[in-house]
């Protein structure tokens, strides 16, 4: 049985990655501080799903508290030979990072540094770092590549503290690869969504609010587009990246950008209700379009997305319907 450490296991992606590892017969040590960045009831729900697996162990720990973390993982590594640490814990979310930038750097950069050091000290040879398409910021996509975002583009013009903190973590990880030979996969996820998603993200908010007949807010004119990627596709890609790669940075995105107003229409038609839309000005930290070039993931990980946007939204709506009695109370901004 292989053993893995997953940070951020109570998060949207951490939950699905842990589920996939557990269903493959692995043991997972999950770490999460269950902070209140968004409504914690959904983190507790995801965790309760994971706790149904006998091979899952959970520790409520903060990755910025290096001594506590090291003591825990040192003790755990005496009885477990860890194949990898999958680092998904982060302060996520672009707009909130402008209000609270220090916390983002503390968790996303210093927290990552703590985990890299621990891996090095405990001889855990594989490290997976969750990064983001946001690092592309103002980097200009190449017209010869249909303006898709590919891993070789410049990423030094990030436009939010969140993106900058993730770029800093990527660079920090490379240094550990160079100095200590840690084998590292940096995964740039593109707008992930799915069942038990984050209530601070647009698709979850839209599903909840259209379902309940509450108004939704759209920032900008709705013509912005996102390369929405289904969470189980992302989980599969993350697990595929556990192989030995040296140091690689890989996009995990659907490769199909969807215009926001079309995404809303899809949700309306699946739920069977019209949305009441409030428009607010576009936010300066939001990019206009993301479109993943996912050819490297196909080549390196033999990965390609399997779930269409419509099917992904159907799964999210189905999950919402099944959990509506409590999910309707989850705090989501309009
Ligand atoms: N969801 C997306 O669209 C998306 C896109 C790009 C990148 N990412 C990255 O993927 C990862 C997972 O994202 P997600 O959407 O599942 O977010 P999430 O917020 O649902 O999950 C992150 C988890 O990390 C935990 N966490 C935060 N700070 C911590 C700390 N100091 N100590 C321990 N645990 C802590 C949180 O409690 C949360 O459960 C993050 O690194 C995020 O930046 C996500």
Residue 92 Cβ inside 6 Å of ligand 1? The answer reads yes
User: Among candidates 159, 162, 38, 155, which has minimal Cα distance to 99?
Assistant: 162
Print the domain residue range for 164. 3-327
Average pLDDT in the 241-249 region? 98
E strands, 8-134, where? 27-32, 56-60, 82-87, 126-132
193 is catalytic: no
State which ligand 1 atom lies nearest to the alpha carbon of 162.
43
Ligand 1: which of 6, 7, 11 to mutate, judged by most atoms within 8 Å of the beta carbon? 11
State which ligand 1 atom lies nearest to the alpha carbon of 46.
39
Residue 191 Cβ inside 6 Å of ligand 1? The answer reads yes
pLDDT of amino acid 86: 99
Please check whether residue 61 lies inside any domain of the structure: yes
> 68-98: per-residue pLDDT in tens?
999 999 999 999 899 999 999 999 999 899 9
Cα–ligand 1 centroid distance for 275 (angstroms): 29
Cα–ligand 1 centroid distance for 10 (angstroms): 9
53 exposed, middle or buried (CB, 10 Å; 0-12, 13-18, 19+)? middle
- Total domains in the chain come to 1
Please check whether residue 333 lies inside any domain of the structure: no
Spatial distance between the Cα atoms of 43 and 9, rounded to a whole number of angstroms = 9
Please check whether residue 332 lies inside any domain of the structure: no
Neighbour count for residue 105 (Cβ, 10 Å): 19
User: Among candidates 162, 217, 212, 157, which has minimal Cα distance to 189?
Assistant: 162
Residue 30 Cβ inside 6 Å of ligand 1? The answer reads no
Query: Vertex 267, ends 266 and 268: CA angle to 5°?
Result: 90
- Strand 192-193 and strand 277-280: the pairing is unpaired
- The predicted model scores a pTM of 0.97
Please check whether residue 155 lies inside any domain of the structure: yes
Q: Whose CA is nearest to atom 32 of ligand 1?
A: 62
Say if residue 285's pLDDT is above 90: no
pLDDT of amino acid 119: 98
Say if residue 197's pLDDT is above 80: yes
Spatial distance between the Cα atoms of 7 and 14, rounded to a whole number of angstroms = 7
Please check whether residue 232 lies inside any domain of the structure: yes
Residue 107 Cβ inside 6 Å of ligand 1? The answer reads yes
> 1-50: per-residue pLDDT in tens?
899 999 999 999 999 999 999 999 999 999 999 999 999 999 999 999 99
Residue 203's CATH number: 3.40.50.720
User: Among candidates 82, 77, 88, 119, which has minimal Cα distance to 17?
Assistant: 88
Please check whether residue 165 lies inside any domain of the structure: yes
Please check whether residue 334 lies inside any domain of the structure: no
pLDDT of amino acid 334: 56
Residue 90 Cβ inside 6 Å of ligand 1? The answer reads yes
Average pLDDT in the 246-266 region? 98
Please check whether residue 295 lies inside any domain of the structure: yes
Say if residue 139's pLDDT is above 80: no
């Amino acid at each position: 049985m292989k053993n893995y450490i997953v940070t951020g296991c109570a998060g949207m992606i951490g939950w699905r990655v842990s589920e996939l590892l557990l269903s493959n017969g692995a043991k997972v040590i999950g770490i999460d501080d269950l902070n209140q960045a968004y409504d914690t009831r959904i983190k507790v729900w995801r965790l309760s799903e994971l706790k149904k697996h006998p091979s899952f162990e959970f520790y409520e720990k903060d990755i910025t508290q290096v001594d506590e973390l090291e003591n825990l993982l040192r003790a755990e590594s005496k009885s477990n030979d860890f194949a990898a640490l999958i680092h998904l814990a982060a302060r996520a979310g672009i707009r909130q990072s402008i209000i609270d930038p220090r916390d983002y750097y503390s968790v996303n950069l210093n927290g990552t540094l703590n985990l890299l050091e621990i891996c090095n000290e405990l001889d855990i040879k594989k490290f997976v770092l969750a990064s983001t398409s946001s690092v592309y910021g103002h980097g200009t996509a190449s017209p010869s590549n249909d303006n898709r975002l590919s891993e070789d583009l410049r990423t030094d013009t990030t436009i939010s503290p969140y993106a900058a903190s993730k770029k800093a973590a990527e660079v920090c990880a490379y240094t550990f690869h160079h100095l200590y030979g840690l084998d590292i996969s940096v995964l740039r996820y593109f707008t992930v969504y799915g069942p038990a998603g984050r209530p601070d993200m647009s698709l979850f908010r839209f599903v909840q609010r259209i379902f309940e007949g509450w108004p939704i807010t759209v920032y900008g004119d709705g013509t912005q587009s996102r390369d929405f990627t289904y969470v189980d596709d992302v989980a599969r890609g993350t697990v595929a990246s556990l192989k030995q790669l040296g140091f690689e940075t890989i996009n995990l995105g659907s490769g199909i950008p969807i215009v926001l107003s079309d995404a809303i229409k899809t949700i309306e038609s699946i739920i069977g209700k019209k949305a009441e839309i409030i428009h607010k000005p576009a936010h300066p930290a939001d990019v206009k379009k993301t479109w993943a070039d996912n050819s490297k993931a196909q080549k390196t990980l033999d990965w390609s997305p399997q779930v269409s946007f419509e099917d992904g939204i159907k799964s999210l709506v189905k999950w919402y319907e099944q959990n509506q009695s409590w999910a309707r109370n989850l705090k989501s901004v309009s």
